[in-house]
Amino acid sequence: MQKRIYLSPPHIGKYEQQLVTEAFVSNWIAPLGPQVDAFERELAEYVGIQGAVALCSGTAAIHLALRYLGVGPGDCVFCSSLTFIGSVCPVIYQGAEPIFIDSEPDSWNMSPLALERAFKDAEQTGKFPKAVIIVNLYGQSANFDPLLTLCQQYDVPVIEDAAESLGASYKGKASGTFGAFGIYSFNGNKILNTSGGGMLVSDDREALEKCRFWATQARDPARHYQHSEIGYNYRLSNVLAAIGRGQLRWLDDRIAERRRIFDRYVEQLGNRDGIEFMPEAPTGRSNRWLTVLTLDPHRCPLTPNQVLDALEQENIEGRPVWKPLHLQPVFAGSLYYPHEEHADFSTTVFTQGLCLPSGSNLTEEDQDRVIACLQRVL
């Protein structure tokens, strides 16, 4: 059996090891410390925003943002459907109801047409969402101009889930900086990973301080342990922040490597009938976190699952596209707005799409194995 090729494995360099060693030598291995402070400052500077709070996950960041915006029982939140469940679970934590919005073909992200219909229905019922969570899928920013215009028209704040899109941009502005809050994920398969972690960012420093307070068990500023509010154990550890600081130094290189991997897949497979790769929207630049393609069932003889099975037989990890949240059993019966009345784009991509190995440490020889397998099976 040949060695395993993973979808998006960690890619660790020398800086990470140096900074983790600093944390150990200084004995700052407690939950917080100078590496956390530096990581927050450096990431905020990288994306061009006022401040950041380092947390244990991107899901925790969304949860804090929702709480700060006052989302609670009886409220609803408009959410992207074509994404991972972590984008929406915090809505449930707060006792609110998610209403799912389809994606559009140009960016694979939230459809302005679907969002507009959802807002018009809200006008009719008089029940507006307390927030809109817009996800940037597979490293690409959503089409924010029309989306933000709609949200501003109805005076509804935006939470930008940039878990997969750190380093991407929309019209020259960094992904994660368009909403009242932005969130990033540093899970082990992300383009910047700390094995597990996340970040909440905003230009509202007062809001970030309140979220930082909640994330640190909401401990009051007293000598003894005193708590006037309920908080959470959500902060990132000093050791993991050291890994993140090292990863941040490599980030532009890692993005360039993933984009080269994507381009090579397109060069070798893009002319095959029935194959289409996730487009790069003309309004921005993707970090190409994962290379994703779709197989047209009318022109391609195989299903995505058959291709994934063939890859697995060669000890190569692939993955289906995210199953849309409106199709998940846990959200059965939830309200959903498709891109157009008879065009459910999220479901189409789910049934036709798959993700290929895309890690920035994927060698050319390993990519040749993936390409050869695909050419053979197709």
- By CB neighbour count within 10 A (0-12 exposed, 13-18 middle, 19+ buried), where does 34 fall? middle
Contact criterion met (CB below 8 Å) for 331 and 325 = yes
CA separation, residue 244 to residues 26, 54, 158 (Å): 18, 10, 26
Look up residue 127 and give its DSSP letter: -
- By CB neighbour count within 10 A (0-12 exposed, 13-18 middle, 19+ buried), where does 330 fall? exposed
Contact criterion met (CB below 8 Å) for 150 and 118 = no
Contact criterion met (CB below 8 Å) for 165 and 175 = yes
The rounded distance, in Å, linking the Cα atoms of 71 and 88 is 13
Question: At 182, which helix (H) or strand (E)?
Answer: strand 181-185
Contact criterion met (CB below 8 Å) for 80 and 109 = yes
List the 291-295 sheet strands across, edge first: 275-277, 291-295, 353-356, 319-320
Q: Which among 365, 272, 353, 356 has a CA at the least distance from the CA of 311?
A: 356
Contact criterion met (CB below 8 Å) for 78 and 122 = no
Q: In the chain, count of helices (H) and strands (E)? A: 11, 15
Query: Active-site residue among 173, 190, 210, 323?
Result: 190
190 belongs to the catalytic site: yes
Alpha helices in 154-282 (DSSP H): 205-215, 238-269
Residues annotated as part of the active site:
190
